[in-house]
Amino acid sequence: MISVVQFLAVQGLAFRGSSSRLYENNNGNFLKAIEMIGKFDDVMADHINRIQQSVALKNHMPHYAGNRFQNEIISILAAQIQKYILSAIKDAKYFSVILDCTPDMGHVEQITIILRYVHIQNDEVEVRENFVGFSPAQKSTGEAFYDFLIEKLSSLKLNVNDMRGQGYDNGSNMAGKHIGLQKRILDNYPRALLMPCNAHTLNLVVNDAAKVSFSTVDFFSNVSAIYNYFSGSPFRWQILKKHVKSLTVKQVSVTRWESRIKAIRPLRHELGEIYDSLIELAEECSTPIGQHEAKCLAMKIKSYKFICSTVIWYEILEKVNIISKMMQTVSWNLTSCAESINNILIFFQSIRNDENFEKYLKIADELCESLEIQPEFPVEIYLRRCHKRKQFDYEGDEDIQLTAKENFKINFFYVISCQENKYNMHIFRDVPQQLLQVQGTKLLLYQILEKQQKKTLKTIFLTKESYPGKIVFVSFSYRTK
């Protein structure tokens, strides 16, 4: 029974169902596993028979198959696992803390606690990140999180002075530089350096740039409308699959910017096929509403403005997606990370010029040829209040009218690049220096050399505890077998 509990817990499967009795429908994975073992194991079969007899005689015997037993075994296993993790952390001495919050099904904010440390065993060096528990959050302020973290580490019997790092998302209550959690920790424990999630920072940059102006919001609204139209009916989806062979339209997520590149990629490479699908649906759809929606979407994606928006966003998101994927790779080193962040900074700073704008327009012109449309921006219809009657002849016009191309360049292309540069200057500017900073810091730097040949760790050199203010170097020398 303990093995069954362990198996279900490791696999993340539900234990109980609507019934808590053996040999009843929907009595849960735990009891069904016990029933299955009873078919092959005589001891378990005899135990099940005695349980059945006690139920029939209404003489309830301890059967160790109820929910109390399951919860008790889960608690014992969890305590042993946590004990092993804490023992390894104490052996490593130094550790970092990673916190994040998420609401559960009961709408209670839960704090996820992860400890990161270096584990050395049998000449094998491994950086581990271990989950140590959930805890409900009473308040979402930096002060409340600080009090919670210090109390939690004390309950785990970990020395807070040995904390050498902290990692969070970019929420103001976590990474705020004035009253955030990281600021409170640095004030009391200055060796716990902050390393925010750079992938999440990129997420914030792109998400904010996607909703910075009316044109950008309108573009992604149209992208979402295309997916919603095709996914709303199996008949429409089959028409789409008939024309689009390799890529299909994707949904735009509100929080995950990566979904935006997946949603734009089919439009960038299969725009003509998607347009043909909409035209066929406009002709064959059985309802006037469906025909109207197909014609409206076809007119939108055949617009030169929509095509240019697709090209620009695709070029930006494709580069950002590559960097984000690399940042989430476990084996990626600090030097490569700093270089990649510098490259994306240079890209964002250099994109905002007329030369790049014209380059993207040329790419859009090639798509226009496949759709057989003229590469011309549609005339903008300005919505504004009625003009006041002029009192004098020398009064000038209230607004300056821009051409459609200039309006797109200023209110779409420049706005996106300006917003990205704004966040990059405030968020990413110091990241490469933080990653590569060595002299005068308390950073714990590990450099592990990976070779194709099998190596054996020979020596490890660490600075002594008598130099707590200096950087700690870990160097490795290998002997090839």
Mean pLDDT of 183-206: 81
Check residues 393 and 448 and name the one with the higher pLDDT. 393
One-letter amino acid for residue 233 of the chain = S
Domain stop point among 65, 82, 105: 65
Q: Total domain count for the chain? A: 4
Residue 133 falls within a domain, yes or no?
yes
Looking at the structure, do residues 218 and 355 belong to the same domain, yes or no?
yes
What are the Cα distances from residue 69, in Å, to 15, 82, 166, 208, 433? 12, 20, 38, 50, 53
pTM above 0.95, yes or no: no
Mean pLDDT of 22-43: 90
| 100 pLDDT higher than 90 | no
| Residue-level pLDDT at 474 | 34
Looking at the structure, do residues 269 and 363 belong to the same domain, yes or no?
yes
Q: What CATH code is carried by the domain that includes residue 186?
A: 3.30.420
| Residue-level pLDDT at 419 | 62
| Model pLDDT for residues 46-77, shown as the tens digit of each residue | 888 888 888 777 777 778 888 888 899 999 99
Looking at the structure, do residues 226 and 135 belong to the same domain, yes or no?
no
State percent of the chain over pLDDT 90: 26
| 226 pLDDT higher than 90 | yes
Looking at the structure, do residues 355 and 455 belong to the same domain, yes or no?
no
| Residue-level pLDDT at 479 | 32
Q: Name which of 218, 413, 416, 213 is nearest 308 in CA terms.
A: 413
Residue 355 falls within a domain, yes or no?
yes
Mean pLDDT of 293-304: 91
Domain stop point among 20, 38, 65: 65
What is the sign of the dihedral through the CA atoms of 63, 64, 67 and 69? positive
| Residue-level pLDDT at 390 | 62
> Kindly report the CA angle at 294 between 289 and 295, in degrees rounded to 5?
100
| 89 pLDDT higher than 90 | yes
What is the sign of the dihedral through the CA atoms of 472, 477, 478 and 479? negative
| Model pLDDT for residues 425-481, shown as the tens digit of each residue | 455 555 545 554 433 333 333 333 333 333 333 333 333 333 333 333 333 333 333
- Could you list the residue range(s) of the whole structural domain that residue 453 is in? 444-480
| Model pLDDT for residues 108-128, shown as the tens digit of each residue | 888 999 999 999 888 888 889
Residue 248 falls within a domain, yes or no?
yes
| Residue-level pLDDT at 396 | 55
Mean pLDDT of 160-179: 86
Confidence of residue 391 (pLDDT cuts 50, 70, 90): low
Question: DSSP 3-state helix, strand, coil percentages of the chain (rounded to 5)?
Answer: 55, 15, 35
